């Protein structure tokens, strides 16, 4: 989950037309640094939420019209975390297509020998 998503969860309403532009990293270091900074910021934002906050309603709008409404906990789980898992899955497919061994995600991958070196 990136920091922008966790920041959005603090709002009661978010206008999607005001979403910040996507960032175009220029190096692997920029990607790793952005990931690490975003994760730290997301932990900070989520740590400030209590049960009342996460059970509160969240609404997304476009052009002033509501297009999506859910509890914050629903937003965090179904939209944000699932979105992260989806892209992790995409990355594993790209690694496979590039003949790069797929790392462990939920346990050993098919590229890892469960019995050690042969």
Q: How far apart are CA 7 and CA 10, in angstroms?
A: 6
H/E stretch holding 106 reads none
State the average pLDDT over residues 39-46. Answer: 85
pLDDT at 50: 92
Task: Please give the tally of structural domains in the chain.
Answer: 1
11 falls within a domain: yes
pLDDT at 52: 94
Cα dist. 55→36, 46, 96 in Å? Answer: 27, 13, 40
Q: How far apart are CA 9 and CA 71, in angstroms?
A: 9
Give the predicted TM-score (pTM) of the model.
Answer: 0.65
What's the domain range around 14? 3-97
Q: Is the pLDDT of residue 97 over 80?
A: yes
76 falls within a domain: yes
Instruction: Scan for tokens 């009342």, then name that residue.
Output: 52
């Amino acid at each position: 989950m990136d920091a922008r998503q966790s920041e959005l969860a603090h709002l009661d309403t978010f206008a999607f037309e005001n979403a910040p532009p996507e960032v175009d990293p220029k190096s692997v270091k920029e990607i790793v640094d952005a990931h690490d900074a975003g994760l730290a910021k997301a932990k900070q934002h989520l740590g400030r939420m209590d049960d009342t906050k996460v059970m509160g309603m969240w609404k997304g709008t476009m052009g002033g019209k509501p297009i999506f409404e859910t509890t914050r906990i629903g937003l965090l789980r179904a939209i944000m975390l699932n979105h992260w898992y989806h892209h992790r899955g995409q990355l594993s497919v790209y690694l496979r297509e590039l003949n790069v061994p797929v790392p462990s995600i939920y346990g050993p991958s098919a590229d890892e020998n469960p019995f050690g070196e042969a």
